[in-house]
Amino acid sequence: MSIKVINSGLMTTIQDKGRMGYQASGMQVSGDMDRYSASIANALVGNEDDAPLLECTYLGPELEASEDVLVAVTGGEPKVLVDNKPVHAYESLILHKGQHIKVASMEEGTRAYIAIDGGIDVPLVLGSHSTNLKLGIGGAEGSKLYNGEVLNTGRPTDLANAIISGKSHIRHTDHEYMAHHHLWQENNHGDSHEVRIVLGPQDDYFTPEAVKALDGAVYTISNESDRMGYRLEGEVIQRATQRDMITDGIVFGSIQVPPNGQPIIMMADHQTTGGYPKIATVISADLPLLAQCSPGSKISFKVISVEEAQDIYIKFRQALKEQIALMDKESKEEWPDRRPGVINYNLKIDGQLFQVSVEEIK
């Protein structure tokens, strides 16, 4: 089973959760920018959470299936076409032999994730399938996808077999229950997205006024932004001391401030260590949102405590788990009936819940 890359898109790479365990040697973690959307995409096709999938930026790829295969596209609001006809994102799709799927554009957000059942079959390099473009390792020979490339896929999942043979309903996830979508709207304050941060580790390198002003400060994501980091433009963050700090460790979400006072948020391909002081760190639950912001987007920082951030993180992880469990449950059930013309109701009679499908008599 394989897929052929008809058009690679702007910047499409194979990613998984990232290359953990080698940061002490200076090896970057890489991995998907928006772990939330990647998890949902894999769940929609019955893959393991960590299965290698495609991450694309703005203009996605056009792919051709060599056999019937189950695919799903998530991340922001991608415009997805199968043989030039629009289809739903956030839903498992049967791609028949010879059909083309294309992520034509992003109506909302920046990065789409394309999961294929069985995952993309590329070798493990130091424990991960993630593409590290800087080192030229992982993914498909350490590079982004190119036109004409053929990607093998792993053994078809049970879910794919069941759906393709018509024994199971397709998997979908409702937008109104989409934590990510919800987060996007909830955090959209007029023209800026709220990004929550925890102060430290080097907030004491900056003036108390600068630290105070960071709470609520609005920054624009500049054009010099990629998987490695987002350079921000806005209020200059004033240093309290000019002494060089001694290089220390960095995480995905670290906000470092170089001498020009314009912050840089370190993203998935960030280096493991750095010599600029880090005034704060973006909370883990807001990284998927940040990954979907594009150059020109405005973000506003909100300072919260580490305990609050961990409460949000745990809630976020549990919500994702529940969302995937719900998909599992729904795809095993016969209800709701998704044939056209059928209307489904939840009815409560004497305290008992009934699921009713109504179809017009022809």
* Residues at the site binding another protein, with contacts judged by CB under 8 A: 20-28, 125-126, 134-137, 198-202, 244-251, 253-254, 259, 271-275, 278, 281-284, 306-307, 309-310, 312-314, 317
Least distance (Å) from another protein to the CB of residue 288? 14
- In whole angstroms, the minimum distance from the beta carbon of 167 to another protein comes to 35
Q: How far apart are the first and last CA of the chain?
A: 42
Nearest residue to 302 (alpha-carbon basis) of 202, 153, 189, 134: 189
- Residue 48: what residue type? E
Choice between 82 and 312, CB closer to another protein: 312
CB of residue 332 vs another protein: minimum separation in angstroms?
26
Q: How far is the CB of 282 from another protein (least distance, A)?
A: 7
DSSP 258: -
> From the CB of 314, what's the least distance to another protein, in Å?
6
Q: Between residues 248 and 328, which has the closer beta carbon with respect to another protein? A: 248
Question: 27 or 214, CB closer to another protein?
Answer: 27
Task: Please give the DSSP secondary-structure letter assigned to residue 157.
Answer: P
What's the chain's Rg over C-alpha atoms? 22
Look at residues 94, 105, 134, 88 and name the one whose alpha carbon lies nearest to residue 227.
134
Using a 10 angstrom Cβ sphere, with 0-12 exposed, 13-18 middle and 19 or more buried, the burial of residue 359 is exposed
Closer Cβ to another protein, 147 or 241, answer by number = 241
CB atoms < 10 A from the CB of 125, how many? 16
Task: State CA 94 to chain mean position distance.
Answer: 22
Give the nearer residue to another protein in terms of CB position, either 70 or 299: 299
CB nearer to another protein: pick between 14 and 59: 14
Q: Are 44 and 115 in contact (CB under 8 A)?
A: yes
Min separation Cβ 68 and another protein, Å: 36
